[in-house]
Chain A
Amino acid sequence: MWPLIKILPAMTNFRFVAFAKYAGVASVVAALASIFLALYPLTPPCGGLNCGIDFKGGTLLEISTAPRAVDLSRVRSELGALELGDVQVQAFGAPSSALVRFQTPEGESSEQAIEEVKAALNSALGEVVFAKTEVVGPKVSGELFQNGLLALGFAIALMLIYIWFRFELQFGIGAVVGLLHDVVLTFGLIALLDLEFSLTSIAAILTIIGYSMNDTVVVFDRLRENLRKFKRMPLAEVIDLTINETLSRTIITGLTTILALGALAIFGGPTLFGFSIIMIFGVVIGTYSSIYVAAPIILLWGVKRGEEEAEPLPVRT
């Protein structure tokens, strides 16, 4: 029984490619649903995503009334009376803490708006500690949003170039389709769970891109080696063999990463919770896409197999 690695079969023989068609359909459906969730309703700049102030501009206050619990409905009604734009109040971590977000009304400075809110909350709830204050102006939020999207685009482009350079164009395309799949599905998850979309989410997605690429590269590396080793084996079988050979590594690395991220989600406090959830999802989806998106794309596209094509057919006599 111990070590665990001994009970994992030395060589698995799953026919992954045989299920690629169904997986492909599932992926396309999931991706389309994600795009819909992330974009609908088509309101700029964030659509269906719950944009934080990083990208929308406005003010965020983290309030604490410890040891008493925060009366959220009281906070809502008090702030509603101030006629601020788009007020959001949500519980955050301990019951004595809450997050308040609002937009600065037209023609008022953010300082004035914050002073008003602080005065209103102090008089309504008694002693309130303002643990965190974040203000993002409209100019900066626009820039952060643009930079965030640019960063995602550049990351994917850079990965394509790297894989193209290290492998072949087909591998690069397979890897990039896999990445797009992961990124789109992650956006879908963020929209579905109504997680805050912020700079930290962009960092999480970029890390997912790194991880998913890491996973794909390991599979591709072995695939390339096997393509050289088994020149006459049909491509589908080489892919199956490769995925089976790398399977135990995929599982062990995925498990350790998820275990570590799980600790972060449970004990890391409310700020890192959303981040950890996005990352755990990304690890799962990145592992899936290495097996069912990146590799089958190569199958779809075909690949040059060294001298195999130049090899003369056996002459019948």
Chain B
Amino acid sequence: MMTLSRWKIIAVVLAVIFGVLFSLPNLLPQQTLASMPGFFPRQQLNLGLDLQGGSHLLLEVDTEALRAERLVNTLEDTRVTLNGEGIAFTELRQLNGEITLRVTDPARRDDAARVLRTSLGTALAGTPGGRDITVRNDGPSGIRIAFVQEAMNAEAAKAVEQSIEIIRRRIDELGTREPTIIRQGVDRIVVQAPGESDPERLKNVIGQTAKLTFQMVDESADMAAAAEGRAPPGSEVLPSEDGMSPFIVVRRRALVSGEMLTDASQGFDSQTGEAVVNFRFNSIGARRFGEATAQNIGQRFAIVLDGKVISAPVIRGAITGGSGQISGSFTPQTANDLAVLLRAGALPAPLTVEEQRTVGAELGADAVRAGQISTTIGFITILVFMVFAYGGLFGGISVIALLVNALMIIAIMSVTQATLTLPGIAGLILTLAVAVDANVLIYERMRDEIRAGRNAIAAMDAGFSKAMSSIIDANVTTILAALIMFQFGSGPVRGFAWTLSIGVLTSVFTAVLVTQVLLALWFRAKRPKTLPIV
């Protein structure tokens, strides 16, 4: 064990070079680092959001709302389709996620089913002839329309994918520095935005569905009934923010919707000077909007954003140019945010913020400072204690091993860009404290062997070989605990587990190999008869 084989020395020297080289970027100022030659490593420790400041958001895509919306739309399509075919029906309603209706003339029931089968739903990918809905007979005159589960699941999965894409576009437009957007589980999205951006604004921009539609106002509706939330078939009561009335009854059928926009930007109204959102339709949107406005001069249409009426202007003439403006009670910033949302597109389903963790940059800097101070003091305390306990030689050797250990941990964390969190700093200092354990085990074993009557070299040899099984067992248990934290923990806790695991691996290396090489060198130089620790 104590023989100084060449590979041991090479391994130790390489480890020291690696540790110094790759932990150095953390100590150099940014300018010096930039002027270093190309081969020089540049990666610094990757600080977690709790240390550099920033926001972590866990969002959930409300796929239930997606289903509910699909159901409402299909119900409406059913009504329009059957009316178009001239088939009379009653009791059209939704029930447990299905749609049921009764055809008035049972003789026409099969016609109705055939028409619905071809006009509703879309073809199913992967199954030739399959559609995403099923239309079945229910009793002598009833029809039951159900959704195929796989199709709904695929749609939900697609909605999550789309949401990620749209969130990315929105955040990019805000100019946030290097956001991370990843999918988690089936219907969750994690957004991590470093920097000191305003979390509430970030949440508003990400979380708003931004579904924009233009719908005709139903002037014929009974306002008393509407006040109680009842609207004529084909219409709906929506809350209004136009400042005129608290609610407005609008036709369910949208004239034009947000997908048909090609551009949106913030501007000011030329007459009133208010902040507005200017927009432009694509060719289909422009044609539809032109036709609708030409047919309905003198009537009002409603601009609906996420189920709320922003404004309901009167149509004074056909708008054929394909562009227009939305006015409402906007500030320049809210108008700009809405323009960003409209450009990036609507979310396919609502998002809910399930978890938010925001740390201000200043608090993060405080935490880094406290971490540096406590780590330095803790580290020095350990070093002093080891020299105090085992003397200049053995204590000093373990101090060198510990320094190499610390360098290697910082180097590995920098190279792998593992996230260092505040609990991770605690993990770091704990690792250094426990790293001493391997040294202590070896030294104590040597003392035992001297007591048992062995000479210096035999005691040192036995010290290493007999302590090994304890060292391995003890460190495997720590690794197991860290693995579990990694599996079950989130964010900062994972950072802690990661730091702990790296630390355990490097400490076994340094405590065993670095100590061994240094002791062997000492032994070769001095040929001592006894060890200075007994």
A and B part of one assembly: yes
Q: A residues bordering B, Cβ < 8 Å?
A: 2-6, 10-11, 62, 110-111, 114-115, 129-137, 139-140, 144, 147-148, 150-151, 154-155, 158-159, 162, 166, 199-200, 202-203, 206-207, 209-211, 213-215, 217-218, 221-222, 225, 245-246, 248-249, 252-253, 255-257, 259-264, 266-269, 271-272, 275-276, 279
* B469 CB, nearest partner CB in chain A, Å: 6
B440 near A253: Cβ-Cβ < 8 Å: yes
Is B236 positioned at the interface, with any CB of A under 8 Å from its CB? Answer: no
Q: Out of B355, B378, B481, B500, which one reaches A264, CB within 8 Å?
A: B378
Is B389 positioned at the interface, with any CB of A under 8 Å from its CB? Answer: yes
Is B367 positioned at the interface, with any CB of A under 8 Å from its CB? Answer: yes
Taking CB atoms, residues of chain B closer than 8 Å to A158 are 480, 484
How many interface residues does B have (CB within 8 Å)?
Answer: 82
Q: Out of B377, B382, B391, B448, which one reaches A5, CB within 8 Å?
A: B391
Q: Counting chain B CB atoms within 10 Å of each CB, which of A5, A111, A134, A158 scores highest?
A: A5
B367 near A257: Cβ-Cβ < 8 Å: no
B489 near A269: Cβ-Cβ < 8 Å: no
Taking CB atoms, residues of chain A closer than 8 Å to B492 are 199-200, 203
Q: Report the Cα distance A133→B353, complex, angstroms.
A: 13
Q: Report the Cα distance A213→B386, complex, angstroms.
A: 23
* B381 CB, nearest partner CB in chain A, Å: 5
A4 near B441: Cβ-Cβ < 8 Å: no
Q: What 4 A-B pairs have minimum CB-CB distances, sorted nearest first?
A: A3-B391, A263-B378, A210-B481, A269-B370
Known: A139-B354, A268-B374. A217 touches B477 (CB 8 A): yes
A259 near B390: Cβ-Cβ < 8 Å: no
| Sampled A-B contacts (22; CB under 8 Å) | A5-B533, A62-B363, A110-B353, A133-B357, A134-B356, A147-B488, A151-B489, A158-B480, A199-B493, A203-B423, A214-B477, A218-B474, A256-B433, A257-B430, A259-B385, A260-B382, A262-B378, A266-B374, A266-B377, A268-B374, A268-B425, A272-B370
Taking CB atoms, residues of chain B closer than 8 Å to A133 are 199, 356-358
* A237 CB, nearest partner CB in chain B, Å: 18
Is B285 positioned at the interface, with any CB of A under 8 Å from its CB? Answer: no
Q: Report the Cα distance A218→B475, complex, angstroms.
A: 10
Known: A132-B359, A151-B489, A249-B440. A5 touches B473 (CB 8 A): no
Residue of A nearest to B483 (CB): A158
Is B4 positioned at the interface, with any CB of A under 8 Å from its CB? Answer: no
* B189 CB, nearest partner CB in chain A, Å: 13
Q: Report the Cα distance A262→B429, complex, angstroms.
A: 11
Apart from A129-B360, A132-B359, A225-B466, what are 12 other A-B pairs with CB-CB below 8 Å?
Answer: A135-B356, A136-B355, A151-B489, A159-B480, A166-B473, A200-B492, A202-B493, A207-B481, A210-B481, A260-B432, A267-B374, A268-B426
Q: Counting chain A CB atoms within 10 Å of each CB, which of B386, B395, B489 scores highest?
A: B489
A162 near B447: Cβ-Cβ < 8 Å: no
Taking CB atoms, residues of chain A closer than 8 Å to B434 are 211, 214, 253, 257
Taking CB atoms, residues of chain B closer than 8 Å to A225 are 466
* A261 CB, nearest partner CB in chain B, Å: 7
Residue of A nearest to B354 (CB): A137
Residue of B nearest to A61 (CB): B358
* B308 CB, nearest partner CB in chain A, Å: 15
* B370 CB, nearest partner CB in chain A, Å: 4
Q: Out of B199, B362, B374, which one reaches A272, CB within 8 Å?
A: B374
Is B241 positioned at the interface, with any CB of A under 8 Å from its CB? Answer: no
Q: Out of B386, B390, B433, B484, which one reaches A261, CB within 8 Å?
A: B433
B433 near A275: Cβ-Cβ < 8 Å: no
B481 near A115: Cβ-Cβ < 8 Å: no
Taking CB atoms, residues of chain B closer than 8 Å to A209 are 481
B374 near A154: Cβ-Cβ < 8 Å: no
Is B371 positioned at the interface, with any CB of A under 8 Å from its CB? Answer: yes
B388 near A4: Cβ-Cβ < 8 Å: yes
Known: A134-B358, A137-B355, A200-B492. A256 touches B370 (CB 8 A): no
Taking CB atoms, residues of chain A closer than 8 Å to B481 are 155, 206-207, 209-210, 213
A151 near B356: Cβ-Cβ < 8 Å: no
Q: Out of A111, A114, A269, which one reaches B366, CB within 8 Å?
A: A269
A3 near B423: Cβ-Cβ < 8 Å: no
B474 near A214: Cβ-Cβ < 8 Å: yes
A267 near B377: Cβ-Cβ < 8 Å: yes
* A222 CB, nearest partner CB in chain B, Å: 8
B356 near A206: Cβ-Cβ < 8 Å: no
Taking CB atoms, residues of chain B closer than 8 Å to A111 are 200, 203-204, 353
The 0/1 profile, CB within 8 Å of A marked 1, for residues 420-431 of chain B is 001101110110
* B116 CB, nearest partner CB in chain A, Å: 37
